């Protein structure tokens, strides 16, 4: 049947009679519309970032960057300690969340599947775990803050501290790291796994020498997203980090991140210009961190990138 053309059925328009002019015009219309919307989106982004940079830029100077806040309603002083605290908190949070999240994802993708075949209990647990990861990703961050406050600050008596805040922050970014790592692992072709196993490598060797390096760009993406999340988060740290503007000297000290300081400046003081300045520093910082991590991951995965 295939290949034979029934004589009763004919096309409404042949190549000669079809109205190509209109069709091209329709195509042009839709493409223009999409182009326009794309442009609007980019413009909005540029507007927001541009406004913050221009307005805030006026307040940014060497003094702001290098002196600690003085506290009080006037909002005097700089932001030096809050920059340092931000870095401490990002580092500590990722130190906790990355190994946990990556391991969880590796287990769920590389091991759980085959193990769950033999155990109904395990299969149920894995389904619950996957569901939990998905749900956690959509929960408002203040919930993580409250949870962190109850568990780390008061029950475990870590107080308002870098430790409490980074543990709560880790809870916040874990779903992100798990999901992005899972997706990165799923994107690694099974051909690599089979090729490695067929050469007499163990499953662990296959994972550590082939699969994880190939998944590294995706894992790095998850880490970048998490860095941004921690830098820009206020709710969680409002109730776990305290608000001390002094430089923390141990993980048990309270502190104030840039975003938190910005929040205090905007809500509790008259120093709106300094709030904008802090915002500008925040934006530049996120930009620089993304840039650096991207460069590192490009170096790390020079061989891998050519796959795609």
Partner 1 sequence: MNDSKLVTINYSLYYGNFQALKDINIKIPENKVTALIGPSGCGKSTFLRSFNRMNDLIPGVRTEGSVLLDGEDLFKMDPVALRQNVGMVFQKPNPFPKSIFDNIAYGPRVTGLKDRHKLEEIVERSLRSAALWDEVKDSLGKSGLELSGGQQQRLCIARALAVEPTVILMDEPAASLDPIATLRIEDLIHKLSENYTIVIVTHNMQQAGRVSDYTAFFYTDETRTGQLVEFDETKTIFTNPSDQRTEDYITGRFG
> Using CB under 8 A as the criterion, which residues of the chain lie in contact with partner 1 when the complex forms?
114, 117, 189, 191-192, 194-202, 205, 209-210, 213-214, 303-304, 306-307
Q: What is the dihedral of CA 173, 218, 231, 254, to 10 degrees?
A: 50
Element (H, E) at 259: helix 258-268
CB 224, min distance to partner 1, A: 21
CB 65, min distance to partner 1, A: 42
CA distance 170 to 165: 8
Cβ nearer to partner 1, comparing 216 with 247 = 216
Q: What is the CA radius of gyration of the chain?
A: 26
CB 204, min distance to partner 1, A: 10
The dihedral through the CA atoms of 269, 267, 84, 285 has a sign that is negative
CA distance 210 to 196: 8
Cβ nearer to partner 1, comparing 142 with 304 = 304
CB 220, min distance to partner 1, A: 15
CB 115, min distance to partner 1, A: 11
Element (H, E) at 197: helix 190-198
Cβ nearer to partner 1, comparing 203 with 246 = 203
CB 222, min distance to partner 1, A: 19
The DSSP code sequence of 30-41 is HHHHHHHHHHHH
Which residues make Cβ contacts (< 8 Å) with residue 144, sequence separation at least 6? 168, 171, 172, 236
Cβ nearer to partner 1, comparing 99 with 195 = 195
The DSSP code sequence of 55-97 is HHHTT--HHHHHS-EEETTTTEE--HHHHHHHHHHHHHHHHHH
SS3 251: coil
Cβ nearer to partner 1, comparing 141 with 196 = 196
CB 217, min distance to partner 1, A: 11
Cβ nearer to partner 1, comparing 164 with 206 = 206
Cβ nearer to partner 1, comparing 8 with 191 = 191
């Amino acid at each position: 049947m295939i290949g034979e053309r029934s004589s009763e059925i004919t096309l409404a328009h042949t190549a000669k009679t079809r109205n190509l002019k209109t069709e091209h015009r329709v195509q042009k219309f839709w493409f223009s519309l999409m182009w326009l919307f794309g442009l609007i989106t980019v413009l909005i982004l540029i507007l927001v970032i541009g406004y913050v940079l221009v307005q805030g830029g006026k307040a940014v100077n060497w003094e702001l960057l290098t002196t600690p806040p003085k506290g009080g309603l006037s909002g005097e002083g700089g932001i030096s300690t809050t920059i340092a605290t931000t870095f401490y908190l990002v580092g500590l949070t990722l130190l906790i969340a990355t190994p946990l999240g990556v391991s969880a994802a590796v287990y769920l993708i590389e091991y759980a599947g085959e193990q769950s075949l033999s155990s109904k209990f395990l299969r149920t647990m894995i389904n619950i775990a996957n569901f939990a990861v998905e749900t956690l990703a959509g929960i408002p961050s203040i919930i993580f803050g409250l949870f962190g406050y109850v568990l780390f600050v008061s029950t475990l008596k870590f107080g308002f501290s870098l430790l409490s805040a980074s543990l709560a922050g880790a809870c916040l970014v874990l779903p992100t790291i798990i999901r992005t790592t899972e997706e990165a692992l799923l994107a690694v072709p099974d051909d690599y796994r089979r090729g490695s196993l067929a050469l007499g490598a163990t499953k662990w060797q296959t994972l550590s020498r082939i699969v994880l390096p190939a998944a590294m760009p995706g894992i790095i993406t998850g880490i970048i997203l998490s860095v941004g999340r921690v830098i820009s988060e206020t709710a969680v740290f409002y109730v776990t980090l305290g608000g001390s503007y002094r430089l923390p000297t141990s993980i048990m000290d309270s502190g104030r991140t840039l975003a938190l300081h910005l929040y205090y400046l905007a809500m509790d003081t008259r120093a709106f210009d300094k709030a904008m300045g802090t915002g500008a520093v925040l934006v530049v910082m996120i930009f620089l961190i993304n840039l650096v991590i991207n460069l590192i991951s490009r170096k790390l995965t020079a061989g891998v990138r050519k796959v795609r």
